[in-house]
Amino acid sequence: MKDFATLFTRIDETTKTSVKTAALADYFQQAEPSDRLWTIALFTGRRPKRTITATKLREWAAEVAGLPDWLFEESYSIVGDLAETIALVLPPAAQADDQSLTYWINTIRTLATLEDGDRKAGILNAWNSLPTTQRFLFTKLLTGGFRIGVSAKLITRALAQATGQPEAQLTHKLMGSWTPDTVTWDSLIEADDPTADLSRPYPFYLAYQMDSLNDLGDPSDWNAERKWDGIRGQLIIRGGDHHLWSRGEDLMTDRFPELAQLKDFLPDGTVIDGEILAFADEKPMSFNTLQKRIGRKTVPKKLLAEAPVILMAYDLLEHAGKDIREAPLRARRKHLKMLINQAPAASPIRLSDAVAFTTWDDLARARDESRDIGAEGLMLKRLNSPYLSGRKRGDWWKWKIDPLTIDAVMIYAQAGHGRRANLFTDYTFAVRDGNDLVPFTKAYSGLTDAEFREITTWVRKNTLQKFGPVRQVPPVHVFEIAFEGIQASPRHKSGVALRFPRMARWRRDKPVDEANTLDDLKQMLASYG
């Protein structure tokens, strides 16, 4: 547990991906195999179920700490996290018990089978055996709420550094419904996987953002396509089977079962780069529709009917089993068009059509039409460009439309996480509705560190009420909120949900009575929803 706590601290103290990766790689090289396996499981969402209610933990922790309930609750409202509060208020451990992570997870699973009295004794004994950080992690695991800022991609990258195996191969190994009870470190990570090569994707080529039309030379040298709002994916058909990878190298084959039929129409040895889109009546549906399917391991028939998907094909990377990424884009698209034309019209694949333009002014006008047809903007690709890997400047550009904006009033604030744990960085915003303020979105990015510190000082001096970690504040500060899209949402009081909301700027110049209204928001929904 000591090694796991050290790993957690190294990760929690930084926002740098390289530092997190190095910490994980060191751990995977040094920790016991069973602890490595449980760490992968915990970091990929395979954590133990909740063992005890939060109410019981608060009651027992206050009792051990010798605190009245009101003081424990006040401490909890300031800290904002139950496990962290417990770890801080309890007296120092009276005994040292340097057991492994696997030992403590097995202890937690045993506690779940005990009666309350024995369970309480076991938890108090654990608290009395663990120093602060380990106690915090133990309590997090008890509640079933353990989470950390580590993606599956980061795990595979660290494993690749630790084991010398390719990232894509490791991603393939980590897929499926395995648990630490059904596999070992050797069987999951070290053993050869004969199917990995057949499923392995190519590195994705990423475009640079273009804020205004650069001097790109002769328009006839370029291909333009719509930039749709979906999930970038790579479809692989090899060995009589198919695999679908996200740009983050998540294997998502099972999430979109309707694409399985493409292996019946497309030849073996085909790899296509494209966008997974919710699609009906020959036009893309909103990302909000597609989002209902993200994260699902199984998709019910009703959802398959409500949110059917296609692959909007952009590029062909492998043709007849041959890597053709070095061929110019015009040649790759020619082969891609021929392949898609051979598929039945009802099959879930479409070619991303080129946007016709003769001059750059023509293209600018086409970009201005994007929001009306549900696109995010345009992609510009040089026709003689090869398919490279990563983000390379020069041949591929994305020219997105300007975000939508609305001026809103901050009404609640909450502390951030990690290095921002001592700052109020997560805000709830409202629009005016007569004399009322109606909350409609949250945002936590877009301001400078200096602005976050200034707001934090103000929040601490001007808190009206506390609701756990959330502070209600006077409605006096107006912010410009930028977002990519707006959708109807019966789950929200305002009736809307925003896509990628963030704070564009702090409108110190604008009084609250000049902030936007709920009617303004509904008009935007009618226009762009």
Residue whose C-alpha is closest to residue 374's, from 487, 207, 480, 293: 487
CB 375 within 8 A of CB 226: yes
Q: What is the signed CA dihedral for 455, 461, 462, 463, rounded to 10 degrees?
A: 100
Q: What is the signed CA dihedral for 289, 290, 294, 297, rounded to 10 degrees?
A: 90
DSSP 344-375: -TTSSEEE-PBPP-SSHHHHHHHHHTTGGGTE
CB 8 within 8 A of CB 133: yes
Phi-psi region of 135 (alpha: psi -120 to 50; beta: other; left: phi over 0): alpha
Report d(CA 203, CA 318) in Å as an integer.
Answer: 12
3-state secondary structure of 518: helix
Report d(CA 43, CA 149) in Å as an integer.
Answer: 9
3-state helix, strand, coil in the chain (%, to 5): 40, 25, 35
Cross-strand partners of 236: 243, 271
Report d(CA 6, CA 15) in Å as an integer.
Answer: 16
Q: Tell me how far apart the 2 most distant CA atoms of the chain are, in Å.
A: 78
Token couple for 318: 């492998």
178-202 per-residue burial string, b: 16 or more CB within 10 A, e: under 16: bebeebebeebbeeeeeebebbbbb
Catalytic residues, by residue number, are 227
Angle, CA 299 vertex, CA 298 and CA 304 arms, to 5°: 160
Residue whose C-alpha is closest to residue 174's, from 153, 188, 162: 188
Report d(CA 58, CA 351) in Å as an integer.
Answer: 57
Report d(CA 58, CA 44) in Å as an integer.
Answer: 28
CB 233 within 8 A of CB 252: yes
User: Which one-letter amino acid corresponds to residue 71?
Assistant: L
CB 230 within 8 A of CB 244: no
Report d(CA 311, CA 408) in Å as an integer.
Answer: 37
Phi and psi (nearest 5°) for 128? -80, -5
